[in-house]
Homo-oligomer: A and B are copies of this chain.
């Protein structure tokens, strides 16, 4: 937790807001402007705020309509009567630093491609922030809202990593956490395969490199079956050209690097994590897609087996999707009931005694 001031100001459109503050990385303050969007109303107690964290190539447009008329990436889950019920909750989604869609006119973010206070792009001066720093910026949002804690922190993929970081770092501020198509750690697939291939794809002329990095992300996102399903009669490259229009290579690499710093066991040993969760009565929900090429389901399944054995209220679901990892965005019906239930429950009563639970 950092004590620099963060300011929240409403934007031009209803629901839009902007968060300003300093991200302090390695002792150096980095002034950030991060755009966000919210749905529903913050209640008088300010205890009904839900933080939705976005995926790698996502933005604050979790719900509502995109400029091209398509729905937001979790629109099926967010709205009146939906799992993230905006009649009941204030649901906020904040762009990350280095947001990939930095050339999207609606997206406000700060990263290597945006101007430094000296007017030139940050470029390589933009610091190598980690998941801890991102959690710090999101803490800034919580404070700027004058909310005592989140009702829940949820998200898919990179967003699920962020939600888990909340559970690990500040369980008192995140009593309910849902991580969809995500993992407790950037494992061998992300660190040993995706990360190096991303850098290999980023070689050469920047326009081609952006195209190739998005090709890699698309493949990991869909898996071979998803690519075969969607592109047997369509052109992969034509699709990728629609994706490169608003993205920037430096931001693709910035998020790619940050994602690889995710490791809950570097936040705290498993025993400590489980003890905190029991003491706080934290409820965890994890949902994975079988055959996901970014996040092997076994990573979360094994982690859930360990937390459950340690007495943590951790529900783990798995489902099949023809779109692989992207099933976490496209096939929300598979887990909307679980999410609704998570948000509707009281936090677990704290465990009486850690040692007792551990030896049941």
Contact = CB atoms under 8 A, between A and B. Distances in A.
Contacts of A225: 291, 296-298
Interface string A253-293: 00000000000000000000000000000000000000111
B197 A236 contact: no
A294 B227 CA distance: 11
A192 B231 contact: yes
A297 B224 CA distance: 9
A229 B298 contact: yes
A26 to B, nearest CB: 27
Interface residues of A, number: 39
- SS class, residues of chain A in contact with chain B: helix
A9 interface: no
A224 B192 contact: no
Contacts of A188: 227-228, 231-232, 234, 236
A347 to B, nearest CB: 32
A346 interface: no
A189 interface: yes
Interface of A: 187-189, 192-193, 196-197, 200-201, 203-204, 209, 212, 215-216, 218-220, 223-225, 227-229, 231-232, 234-237, 291-299
